[in-house]
Structure 1
Amino acid sequence: MNHAPHEELGEALRYLSKEEAVAMETELLTDYRFGLQQLTEIWGHACAIAVAKAFPLGSLGKRQPTVLVVCGPEQNGCVGLSCARYLRLFDYLPTVFYPKRSQQAVQQAFTVQCEKMDIPFLSYLPAEVQLINDAYKLVVDAVMGVQVELDSLGEPFTSILATLRNISTPIVSLDIPSGWQGCSSDTDRINPAVLISLMAPKTCSLSFQGTHFLAGRFLPYDLQKKYELCLPAFPGTDCIVQLLDAHT
């Protein structure tokens, strides 16, 4: 069992293994009858709120609040699409890079929703990091969730993450920092400023030291108890909570 300290409650906040995270999501979809589109919508909305809390519109300088959302082909990329749509509704200016579009109905629906919101889609990601730094105030990493490892994706995502490792634009990672699952070398990792964990934090993120949010308020109480999550208290009616530094 893996834990990290949580100062506010004096209890241990549980960090889930890959296997536990997969099992929990499966139970949500089967036993608790959550739909995949429903979960994606919940997560995307929460992620956009966390982005807005970490980087309020006024904090992005005098330039337009441009955000690049980089989406992978699996579920985490779909959450990125949902997040992009909400960011647009919150008056940010998202652009999506979605190099390998899924043929699944849910992903296609979220893609169309973004297109109908007049959110532009890039046809390629500039290899020159300065072009990204100059054009965008923020990058949302929605490339890989906990179920996906980099070796299984290959190109163009290996090159995408290599580019993201070298940018100075702040990165917000959804669920886990892409490439951290199964990666033992710190030099091969991207370095996000913000992490938004979905359901519960994951063990591959135990070493993360930036601003950490949790989007897990929707979880049924029986499921929280079964996995001994020890979730923190969410303030007011907020759907996210900022986790305290587990390294102090």
Structure 2
Amino acid sequence: MSPSGAFSLDQLMELAGLACAQALSKTFPLPAHKRVMVCCGPGNQGGDGLVAARHLHMFKYKPTIYLPKPGSKDIYQRLLRQCENLKIPVLRDTTEFESGLKQHDVILDAIFGFSFKPPLRSPFDKIIHSLRSSNLPILSIDIPSGWDVELGPQRLETQPDSEGKTSVVDTFDPEALISLTVPKMGVREYKGRHWLGGRFVSEELDEKFQLNLPDYEGTEQVVELPQGGQ
């Protein structure tokens, strides 16, 4: 998108994160879902989550960011500082995260993107298990963390421990999903509320790649898609 569309990574991440925040606000409106646990991985997916956390704060939600392994890139660190400047709480410990879930109303899943490949490494094995076992509703960004981008839900083998032993972790089914730019093949049968965000694709690119993107109304940054692959 960037070379042909002339967008920088900063711009794309900002637009994506804003769309994610708007999708969450539409799916889980105030005041019933005010406390949001934003789970961020170390890559661009996590960056989208940080942007979303900032916008959710501006929307009068109370986000808390969980960073098990913060990204090292400059753009990631700047996005994190923006959130810290707003006094958005940041958790880094898995135990804090697990206990903190009890004080939240909804989870924003920004851990893994479409480029994720098994095996599942620590502490993400525990995190995926916690998300699956939590009773809180989840909104996932682009593709639920751990899903295969083409095949969808899968069982994840963990990285071998010090004794060479592995285990299997099941992925989770979020209550809502926001696909970015275009829905991925792996979510074509997704049954929950499904949003599309990333309002930056030109008509030229839409026609060139036959994306058949739906129209966004007015100033909306998201559009709701039919459920269950309809």
Structure 2: stretches of 5+ with no match in the other structure? 157-168
Q: Secondary structure at the match of 2:177?
A: strand
Distance 1:36 1:167, change over 3 A: same
Aligned partners of 1:209, 1:100: CA distance in 2, in Å? 30
Q: Greater RCO between the two (CA within 8 Å, min separation 6)?
A: 1
Distance 1:127 1:115, change over 3 A: closer
Q: Name the TM-score, length of structure 2 as normaliser.
A: 0.87
**Count of residue correspondences:** 215
Task: Name the counterpart of 1:140.
Answer: 108
CA RMSD of aligned residues (A): 2.0
Task: Name the counterpart of 2:46.
Answer: 77
Report if aligned partners of 2:190, 2:227 keep a CA contact under 8 Å in 1: no
Give the 5 Å matches for 1:50-89.
50-60=23-33, 65-89=34-58
Give the 5 Å matches for 1:30-179.
30-60=3-33, 65-126=34-95, 131-151=99-119, 154-179=121-146
Report if aligned partners of 1:96, 1:122 keep a CA contact under 8 Å in 2: yes
Runs of 4+ in 1 over 4 A off after TM superposition: none
Task: Name the counterpart of 2:222.
Answer: 240
Distance 1:34 1:165, change over 3 A: same
Aligned partners of 1:81, 1:56: CA distance in 2, in Å? 19
Report if aligned partners of 2:188, 2:229 keep a CA contact under 8 Å in 1: no
Task: Name the counterpart of 1:184.
Answer: 154
| Aligned-pair CA distance for 1:219 | 0.6
Indicate the percent of aligned positions where both proteins have the same amino acid. Answer: 37
Report if aligned partners of 2:15, 2:198 keep a CA contact under 8 Å in 1: no
- My pick for the range that moved more, 34-43 or 97-106, is 97-106
Q: Secondary structure at the match of 1:57?
A: coil
Structure 1: stretches of 5+ with no match in the other structure? 1-27
